[in-house]
Amino acid sequence: LVVGLGKKKEFELDSVRKAAAVSFGVANALGVKRVVSVLHGAGNGGLVPRDCARAITEGVVLASYRFGIYVKPQKKQVDAFEIVTSDGRAVRSAELGIEDGEIGAEGAIFARDLVNMPANDMLPETLVEKAKEIGVGKGSIRVRVYDQEKLEKMGAGSLLAVAKGSDNPPYLVHMIYTPEGKAKKKVCLVGKAVTFDSGGLSLKPANFMETMKCDMGGSAVVLGVFSVIDRLAPKAEVHGIFGAVENMPSGKAFRPGDVVTAMNKKTIEVLNTDAEGRLTLADTLTYATKQKPDFIIDLATLTGACVVALGEEISAVMSNDTALTDQILSAAKAADEKMWPLPLEKNYKPLLKSDVADLKNIGGRWGGAITAGLFLEEFVAEIPWAHIDIAGATFAERPIDAYTPKGGTGHAVRTLLELLRSI
């Protein structure tokens, strides 16, 4: 099989990942059982052997993914994909690269499965079960779960307001990974976990709702990271936090005009129940700050405005700390996941002013991704924090490339693993 690697001038690590994914796809369609590939990129390509082996592995494993819970997926034909190299010195690094690649791809696939699961089988309590399952048999991971009653005592009025319209009760999940030896950093990863976003009483039009099972994509990234974190073994204490709720309209639902009190005591005027993600994050971010971490990163399918700005493949990074932004963007570069910074423009802050509360939950017509970010900033105190709006890239409405099929993408899992690896 001869696969083109593109123009030499444009050759990069992702060319290797794509070539491996294409090879796998063609071999599979031809019914080939065993594929042997050279270590693309490490020779004339001039790339690092470990990175090349990682990219090949990611390409193959991600390309082989099928969501096969409700239909029987076609049988996978290829059962071995081997990498050969004539450079004896590259063998050990390639082996390490294969392990890196397996960790990244398996974490992303874990997230894909959660996002692809329809909302009737992915309730807030299902996310709790998934977190607990990840913890089973792993001494390095603990899981704490807070139910509705505990959340009321904790004053999580903002998170609870969103849950009111649903018959499925809310939960706050807190997973803790403790490394062996002394932790170099304490990190909080916070995910938006709205298992279905109907918009609530500010109901979405039917076609906007079609993909809203993906609105727990932030928590899927956190769970994807935790599913492989013991294999990655980072030198950081990592906290995974999400508030799982369903946003539904009903006689019990919260209404436009309601005023709620968040866990940090700030009051919020709810003018649109479809801007619910920031309401759930207000309390989960407050909870995260109480852990006193070195930094917080939240991931959220937060705004349609972000998709308008950057399209379906690129997520937006907003932060109160430029060093953290740089760290995230360079991890994204290394993982070949597309992320781009947006400013937290101070002059837009007054757009969130309310006549009756500390804040309102919408900021007017323009710059919606930024005003959402500014809203979140009110709940992180002074802690270094970054918000990644993954609304576009979490769910692919069409196949993106040879290793990213339609559906949940697992976007951002490999970036976070890269970032944790670098600590």
Q: Is the CB of 41 or the CB of 199 nearer to ligand BES?
A: 199
Question: Contact between 368 and ligand BES (CB under 6 A)?
Answer: yes
Residues 6+ apart with CB under 8 A from 298: 189, 190, 191, 192, 218, 281, 284, 285, 288, 376, 385, 386, 387, 388
278 catalytic residue (yes or no): yes
The answer to the question of residue 236 lying near ligand BES (CB under 6 A) is: no
| 112 assigned to active site | no
Give the one residue of 58, 106, 113, 197 binding ligand BES; rule: CB under 6 A: 197
Nearest distance, CB of residue 340 and ligand BES, angstroms? 17
Q: Which of 106, 113, 237, 274 binds Zn ion (CB under 5 A)?
A: 274
Can you state the angle between helices 217-232 and 124-135, rounded to 10 degrees?
0
Q: Pick the piece of the chain touching ligand BES (CB under 6 A) from 29-37, 226-234, 268-276, 286-294.
A: 268-276
Residue with Cβ nearer ligand BES (41 or 224)? 224
In this chain, which of 140, 272, 325, 354 binds ligand BES, going by CB under 6 A?
A: 272
> CB under 5 to 8 A by kind: which of ligand BES, Zn ion, none does 305 bind?
ligand BES
Secondary element (H or E) of residue 327: helix 322-335
- 367 is a contact residue toward Zn ion (CB under 5 A): no
Taking the least distance from each CB to ligand BES, the nearer of 275 and 396 is: 275
Q: Which residue is nearest to ligand BES (CB)?
A: 304
CA atoms of 385 and 187, how far apart (whole Å): 10
Residue 312 half-sphere exposure, CB side, CA atoms within 13 Å?
Answer: 12
Residue 131 CA to residue 152 CA, distance in Å, equals: 22
The Cα 315–Cα 21 span in angstroms is 23
Q: In a 3-state reduction of DSSP, which class is residue 372?
A: helix
As measured in angstroms, the least distance from the Cβ of 266 to ligand BES is 18
Nearest CB to ligand BES, comparing residues 76 and 353: 353
From 66, 138, 186, 204, the catalytic residue: 204
Q: How many residues bind Zn ion (CB under 5 A)?
A: 6
Q: Which of 55, 391, 419, 420 binds ligand BES (CB under 6 A)?
A: 391
Nearest residue (CB) to ligand BES, 100 versus 298: 298
Q: Considering the rule CB under 5 A, would residue 277 count as an interface residue with Zn ion? A: yes
Q: Which of 278, 360, 414, 421 is catalytic?
A: 278
Is residue 303 a contact point for ligand BES (CB under 6 A)? yes
For ligand BES, the closer of residues 272 and 354 by Cβ is 272
Residue 276 engages ligand BES in binding (rule: CB under 6 A): yes
Look up residue 287 and give its amino acid.
Y
Q: Any idea what DSSP says for residue 10?
A: G
Nearest distance in Å: CB 18, ligand BES: 26
What are the percentages of helix, strand and coil residues in the chain, rounded to 5? Answer: 40, 20, 40
Instruction: State the distance between the two ends of the chain, measured CA to CA, in whole angstroms.
Output: 40
Nearby residues of 15 by Cβ (< 8 Å), 6 or more positions away: 5, 6, 40, 41
237 belongs to the binding site for Zn ion (CB under 5 A): no
Q: Which of 287, 307, 193, 174 is nearest to 238 (CA)?
A: 174
Question: What are residue 87's DSSP bridge partners?
Answer: none
Sheet architecture: strand order including 295-300: 141-146, 171-177, 236-247, 185-197, 295-300, 385-389, 315-319, 339-341
Site residues (vs ligand BES, CB under 6 A): 197, 215, 272, 274-277, 301-305, 307, 362, 368, 391
Active site residues: 204, 278
